[in-house]
Structure 1
Amino acid sequence: MIDYQSGYILRPVNQVFIYFSLFCALMLNLLPIDNYSWVPDWLIICIVFWNIHQHRHVSVILAFGLGLLMDVHNSELLGLHGFSYSLVAYLAISWHRRILPLGLLTQALHLLPLFLMVSLFPVLTHWILSGEMYWSALSAALQALIEALLWPLATVILLAPQRRPIHVDHNRPI
């Protein structure tokens, strides 16, 4: 795989690192921080990243399972996060060829609707089912904006193990 920003060929991805990063993102989501709108959903950032960069290793089914874990943790309707995570994973897989050649900030702008979809889907579902709209819950759009702003940092951190060194060693075959 080629890193379009630097032009270097990336090393093959280690599957253990993929699942370790997903586990770390899940643990960050499970921290006992109240449901503030400024706390990003670390798991969806990681799911979208791996579905764009390595969609063969992270599937829609895995995203659905992680979403069910988040539903149980948040005491939400069962399947609410599961559906939104799997839908966003599917869209990330289908958009991966369009998003990869773009710059990091442009990628973040293209992914903002996906992050908005994940953060506003529970609010809209509760509105449809209960008939009551909690306008304070619409501050979830701030969460999506913070997730989009964290996208360049997440890209740099999660691609770091795959980057080849800048200085070429002529004794190394590749």
Structure 2
Amino acid sequence: MVRSPHSESTRRPSGASPLSALQPIDASPFRQPAHPLFVWSTVLLAWLISFLPWRDWLAAPDILLLVIAFWCLNEPQRVSMFTAFIFGLSMDVQDAGLLGEKALAYTLVAYGAVALARRLHRFGAVIQAIHLLPVFVFSAMATHLIHAWLAGEWGGWQWLWSALFTAVLWPVADILLHMPQRRLDETDHRGAV
């Protein structure tokens, strides 16, 4: 069966170009990149929040780790694994613990967020949290195993709650940290209509 070049054009509605099939699935406008000042102010605010004494509770979520992972996923050119390593070292100094323990955890989470970025951008915040839960657990487990090996005793499983609470807070971080871009997109979309 030989097809003529005119047979496909007769099936297409008049005025429709083949490029119209390339429209994005989501009709909303694309999300604008975050302003660098906003990105770094949220990281610094989370770092300052980490100075509060509630962090001494073993099951407390690591807000700084959450914010760094979020920006490593969404703005990897601004917040990278190097940023995670530097802030992890600052947390080690702040906690007066083993130097490099938090730096390892933060770097592992940043690497996990960057490695899973293509997959995670396809899902909503809840599914992203489910995907990142093993990353949070693995990074916490690695640092606690090293700490247990060097200290000569196992510290218990309370750290697992911290990784779980950090993953549970991911949708909240997604809403709060994407809020300026969404507001900008909504005003741009209304102006275009």
TM-score bucket (shorter structure): 0.7 to 0.9
Tell me the amino acid that sits aligned with residue 23 of structure 1.
L
1:61 to 62, 75, 82: 82
Partner secondary structure for residue 131 of structure 2:
helix
Q: Which residue number corresponds to residue 13 of structure 1?
A: 34
Q: Which residue number corresponds to residue 166 of structure 2?
A: 147
Alpha-carbon distance between aligned partners in 1 of 2:138 and 2:190, rounded to the nearest angstrom: 43
Partner secondary structure for residue 116 of structure 2:
helix
Change (3 A) 1:133 1:148: same
Per-residue deviation, 1:78: 0.7
Per-residue deviation, 1:12: 2.6
Q: Which residue number corresponds to residue 181 of structure 2?
A: 162
Change (3 A) 1:143 1:91: same
- Greater CA radius of gyration, 1 or 2? 2
Change (3 A) 1:70 1:39: same
Give the TM-score normalised by the residue count of structure 2. 0.79
| Residue 116 in structure 1 maps to residue 144 in structure 2 | no
Give the TM-score normalised by the residue count of structure 1. 0.87
Alpha-carbon distance between aligned partners in 1 of 2:166 and 2:120, rounded to the nearest angstrom: 16
Correspondence list, 1:27-66, <5 A: 27-33=48-54, 35-66=56-87
Partner secondary structure for residue 169 of structure 1:
helix
How many aligned positions are there? 166
Residues 37 and 143, structure 1, Cα contact 8 Å, conserved in 2:
yes
Percent of aligned pairs sharing the same letter: 34
Gaps of 5+ in 2: 1-24
Residues 37 and 140, structure 1, Cα contact 8 Å, conserved in 2:
yes
Q: Deviations over 1:99-147 (max 9, x none)?
A: 1111221111100011112333332112111221122xx1111111111
Change (3 A) 1:5 1:28: farther
Change (3 A) 1:64 1:165: same
Q: Deviations over 1:16-69 (max 9, x none)?
A: 111000001111111122521332100110011001111111111111000000
Partner secondary structure for residue 127 of structure 1:
helix
Partner secondary structure for residue 56 of structure 2:
coil
Change (3 A) 1:19 1:6: farther
Tell me the amino acid that sits aligned with residue 56 of structure 2.
N
Alpha-carbon distance between aligned partners in 2 of 1:81 and 1:38, rounded to the nearest angstrom: 15
Alignment root-mean-square deviation, CA? 2.0
Alpha-carbon distance between aligned partners in 2 of 1:7 and 1:67, rounded to the nearest angstrom: 37
Residues 59 and 160, structure 2, Cα contact 8 Å, conserved in 1:
no
